[in-house]
Amino acid sequence: MILSELWNHYEADKRIQGFSPNTLRAYALQLKMLFSDLGDVDISGVTLNLLKEYLAKQSDRLKPSSLGHRIRFVRSLFKFAKKLIYLVILPLNCSAIVNGKGAKQREVYFTTECKVWLKKYLDSREDSCKALFVTDNSPVKRMTIPTLRWALKRLASRGAIAANVYPHRFRHTYACQLLDNGAPLEFIQGMLGHEKASTTQIYAQLRGERRRELYRRFF
């Protein structure tokens, strides 16, 4: 999307919100100044540093109050751009069919933010491997479970995370967070793909022990 297209969407949105003609004219003037410096660029190529350089140049000749107006407009415009791109690219419900344990297929759900990062990751790849996580070395192939474990431990080390981090811990944490947020066991059982409710019940028992521990500690 180019800058002029973004402006058309932005102006229409502000009209719907009831912004006055004077305010819209002021915004149009701010856009004209931005155009004179950047041109009608593709907004995907507009970086934070580029905007900072633009505003820094403006600061040399503008009063503090005028510069403040310009900063607020730029921030508002590109905050709207981010929201607009999310709405255009991403559906409200993000899900995928995966082959799980025991070669069973099930639908998994993820956030729109997760989809953005997945798209960036997949777009950056030049291989033809169908696997989601692949090795860095050639020939590119599906990443094995031991390699995934090693990669996670390396990331945990970089982040100075003291806890023992491993792939299955994400699944365990997901189940525990669902429980803490009040999700019923039947729902969690479906999300985890458990055949038996007794398997899911283990998580509830673990959370009960955790609650008792916290009660003893703080009460």
Closest CA to 219 of 208, 211, 179: 211
Query: Model confidence over 100-128: pLDDT tens digits?
Result: 666 777 778 877 777 778 888 888 888 98
Which residue did the predictor score with more confidence, 85 or 70? 70
- pTM of the model as a whole: 0.48
**Cβ contact 142:133 at 8 Å:** yes
pLDDT for position 218: 65
Average pLDDT over residues 8-21: 83
pLDDT for position 141: 92
Average pLDDT over residues 147-154: 90
String of b and e for 23-35 (b: at least 16 CB within 10 Å)? eeeebeebbeebe
Average pLDDT over residues 21-41: 89
Query: Model confidence over 181-217: pLDDT tens digits?
Result: 777 888 888 888 788 888 888 877 766 666 677 667 6
- Positions of CATH 1.10.150 in the chain: 3-89
- Centre a 10 Å sphere on the Cβ of residue 179 and count the other Cβ atoms it contains: 19
pLDDT for position 101: 67
Q: What CATH code is assigned to 3-89?
A: 1.10.150
Residues paired with residue 134 on neighbouring β-strands, in sequence order = 142
pLDDT for position 57: 83
Average pLDDT over residues 149-174: 87
The pLDDT > 90 percentage for the chain reads 6
Give the C-alpha separation, 151 to 166, whole Å.
9
